[in-house]
Structure 1
Amino acid sequence: MNDRALDRPWMLIAEREIVTKLRDKTFIGSTLVMLVIVMAAVIVPALLAGSGGPDRIAVVDDAGVKVVQQASAIEGGDGYEVTRAADRPAAEQLVTDGDVEGALLPGTDGYVVLGKDRVSSGLESRLREAVVNVGMERNAGAAGLTPTELRAGTKVELELLKPAPLPDVVATFVNIGLALVFYMTALGFGMMIAQSVVQEKESRVVEILAAAVPIRALLWGKVLGNTALALSQIVVIAGASVVGLVATDQLDILKVVAPVAGWFVVFFVLGFVALAGLWAVAGSLATRQEDLGSTTLPGQMILMIPFFFSVFAGSSAKTIASFVPIASSMAMPGRMLTERVPVWQPLVAIVLLLIATVLIVRLGARLYERTLLQTGRRLGYREALAIKPS
């Protein structure tokens, strides 16, 4: 043991936590299972999307029908199905409801390709080419046309009814994925922290450790060691996601998700540190493994309620939740994927989360010091608060 380690005993505890987990077959197995789930979540939707029927395109006249048919005949095209609409409002409704992939409507100088939140580059390019081909065939019927006149009426404009960073279905899927990653990681590592504390109490190892290093160093070592492990697991999962997106040619999704991932890491670390302190306290309140069901219940509720809010709540509720500490770790990154969020909002949410994390960790450290060496019986949170510091 070197002098530097003696000056920073929490480093020894953190190293001990990391080495112990890396040797745990259960931890390694759960990480591999999460990797498989993430890879499946990225690859399977892409395969299903590719195996569906032809995209439906709404049109309002016979000229539009001819263009769509021409687009279907272009080499590399997947084939498109024509859906007739009475007029532009009817076509817009079909697009909004998701009944068609897009609409081809007459414009001031050609056509307008109408989409909801995005139009795939393949569909747009083929419709553009088809419009040019049909227009040139029509204009070539007249003699003596210049190249400009020959291409008259072949301009295509793109309009989006509800511009968004990602398509609704994809954004919702990624939103659930981010919230689920935080929930599962915080819950899994939290239970491991609580179980580790109880095991040390049951085996009396904690008394030896407490005699060698300050109790707060024990807490900080566990929190920082498990935070480093959790963050490393997130990085591995993110790497697997990137591989899946690249393999399925979903780089457009990756370009949108990558900047949000940076924000997610900040929210994750702060939220996890705050919860890790509470999980350690849950372990210190217990005297045996069977006690963890009741002592960890508050931590489970703190995780579960924000998770369901971030996934199933309405827009207004999600906006409020994105500023509430702990809940913001799941709600704010999801909002940044589904809507245009001003940069000041995540910054404010981070400041609020940082303040809450400091307060929660300080409270957790006090409770941990007062209850860690209490081995007679299980303690409640109110009882722990009433214990006078020694």
Structure 2
Amino acid sequence: MTTTTPGAHAPLSFWGATGLVAAREITSQVRTKSFVVSTAILLVAVLASVVVGGLLAGRDPDPVPVAATPEVAGALAAVAEGSPLEPVEVADEDAARAAVRDGSVDAAIVPDATGASPLGIRILSLDSQPSDVVAAFTVAPPVDLLEPQTSGDGMRYLVSALFGAVFMMSAIGFGATIANNTIVEKQTRTVEILLAAVPARALLAGKILGNSALALGQTAAVAAVSVIGLMATGQDDLLSLLGAPLLWFILFFIVGFVLLAAIFAASASLVSRIEDSGSVLMPAMMLTMLPYFIVILFPENRLVMVVASYFPFSAPVAMPVRLFTGDAAWWEPLVSLAVLAVSATAAIAVAARIYRRSLLNVGPRVRLREALAAGRV
């Protein structure tokens, strides 16, 4: 027969301890005024930029020159009234194509010989959908692209910058929070109390899990505000341009953040003072900024983008960008995500070893070789 000492509690399981640490990380952050204010400012700024962009887009549009052959000039003149379209009559379809290619017109209207168009006309454009021209018709005519591209250079750059900036700011912000909390707990000896209640692995896992939830939540809030702003200002058609790449970005964001969070936590555990954190956190900072600069500086370099989409630290941004531009096969994001997941698992295992052996070493900086040495503290 076993007896239980009055007032004694059963030891926490690993996941129970991890959940407690994660909850502590989340509540301590959301209760701070700085987190609430910074998040509110971020959301207001995102909403304002979307709304202002929509308002500017709706102001007095510039004339849109559109070429038309004699057979369809009358149809174009009818729809051009009250719209920004500016008809330009050309001799024939060859002349219309030449005008589109040399940039003298934004699009051209020509007869439809295939019978596929209910209006009996087709729209010719160079490399993108001419939304102003299509919107002028009650029934949208078919559009032929003379030099089709998956996406325009401007939209490619915008999406690349957006994915890269969101990932970089979230990873740096919450990674720095993990590092700062770890160092403060060592400096104030709070970690000794924590380790008396939970194992080091659960402490590390809880910090990663809690801050990952915060980072994902903040990013989801930014996405939701952006969607609301786009729909409220009549720009919801832009959402269809993202689609699957945005969903892939969320998946890559989650796994990629866990990878970097483990590195931030392990790096911070090597020092005992905030003043000494610069040198140990610099590699983590550089790895966090890497994907942003790759997609901004090398968007047209296919070799660089392909390599970056499989390199674990740049894949969370490079692969979704390649999916957006149509440069990746259907199986590539699956392989890239698998490589990233394996890398994150390995990083957590190494980080746990460093974290466990460094937390109780207060004083001079712990050398990485010492932290990775065999045995336990």
TM-score by length of 2: 0.85
Deviation string 1:314-357 (CA, Å, 9 cap, x unpaired) is 24122321121121101111222222632211111111111111
The 5 A counterparts of 1:107-186 are 108=113, 111-115=121-125, 116-120=127-131, 123-126=133-136, 157-161=142-146, 163=148, 167-186=152-171
Q: Which residue identity is paired with 2:107?
A: G
Q: 2:311 aligns to what SS in structure 1?
A: coil
8 Å Cα contact 1:164/1:339 also seen in 2: no
Map of 1:385 onto structure 2? 372
Q: Which residue identity is paired with 1:244?
A: G
Deviation string 1:101-146 (CA, Å, 9 cap, x unpaired) is 42234554764311222132x52253578xxxxxxxxxxxxxxxxx
- 1:250 paired residue among 235, 247, 251: 235
Q: Which residue identity is paired with 2:181?
A: S
Deviation string 1:189-225 (CA, Å, 9 cap, x unpaired) is 0001000001101111001111221111110010001
8 Å Cα contact 1:306/1:327 also seen in 2: yes
8 Å Cα contact 1:55/1:101 also seen in 2: no
Q: 1:322 aligns to what SS in structure 2?
A: helix
Deviation string 1:240-269 (CA, Å, 9 cap, x unpaired) is 011011112122222342433221121011
- 1:357 paired residue among 331, 344, 349: 344
Q: 2:12 aligns to what SS in structure 1?
A: helix
265-274 vs 305-314, greater mean Cα deviation: 305-314
Residues 1:104 and 2:109 aligned together: yes
Deviation string 1:25-66 (CA, Å, 9 cap, x unpaired) is 111122122212322342333222222533423426566665
Distance 1:60 1:2 in 2: 87
CA 1:175–1:55: 2 relative to 1, 3 Å? farther
Q: 1:346 aligns to what SS in structure 2?
A: helix
Map of 1:323 onto structure 2? 310
Map of 2:12 onto structure 1? 6
Q: Which residue identity is paired with 2:85?
A: Y
8 Å Cα contact 1:279/1:296 also seen in 2: yes
Residues 1:43 and 2:57 aligned together: no
Tell me the percent identity: 36
CA 1:4–1:94: 2 relative to 1, 3 Å? farther
Distance 1:272 1:223 in 2: 9
How many residue pairs are counted as aligned between the two chains? 358
Q: 1:18 aligns to what SS in structure 2?
A: helix
CA 1:288–1:243: 2 relative to 1, 3 Å? same
Q: Which residue identity is paired with 1:6?
A: L
Map of 1:132 onto structure 2? none
Distance 2:212 2:97 in 1: 53
Map of 1:72 onto structure 2? 80
Displacement of 1:10 in angstroms is: 1.2
Map of 2:222 onto structure 1? 237
CA 1:108–1:201: 2 relative to 1, 3 Å? same
Distance 2:229 2:186 in 1: 43
166-175 vs 234-243, greater mean Cα deviation: 166-175
Map of 2:357 onto structure 1? 370
Gaps of at least 5 residues in structure 2 are: 1-6, 115-119
TM-score by length of 1: 0.82
- 1:306 paired residue among 287, 291, 298: 291
Q: 1:6 aligns to what SS in structure 2?
A: coil
Map of 1:26 onto structure 2? 34
Q: 2:129 aligns to what SS in structure 1?
A: coil
Gaps of at least 5 residues in structure 1 are: 130-154
Distance 2:10 2:41 in 1: 38
8 Å Cα contact 1:13/1:225 also seen in 2: yes
Distance 1:78 1:382 in 2: 70
Q: Which residue identity is paired with 2:339?
A: L
8 Å Cα contact 1:283/1:295 also seen in 2: yes
CA 1:100–1:301: 2 relative to 1, 3 Å? farther
Q: 2:362 aligns to what SS in structure 1?
A: coil
Map of 1:191 onto structure 2? 176
Map of 1:146 onto structure 2? none
Residues 1:93 and 2:104 aligned together: no
CA 1:266–1:3: 2 relative to 1, 3 Å? farther
Distance 1:183 1:4 in 2: 41
Q: 1:81 aligns to what SS in structure 2?
A: strand
The structure with the greater share of residues assigned to helix is 1
The 5 A counterparts of 1:50-65 are 50-51=58-59, 53-59=61-67
Q: Which residue identity is paired with 2:41?
A: V
Q: 1:31 aligns to what SS in structure 2?
A: helix
CA 1:343–1:111: 2 relative to 1, 3 Å? same
CA 1:344–1:226: 2 relative to 1, 3 Å? same
356-365 vs 45-54, greater mean Cα deviation: 45-54
Distance 1:211 1:169 in 2: 55
Q: 2:329 aligns to what SS in structure 1?
A: coil
Q: 2:310 aligns to what SS in structure 1?
A: coil
Map of 1:228 onto structure 2? 213
CA 1:341–1:360: 2 relative to 1, 3 Å? same
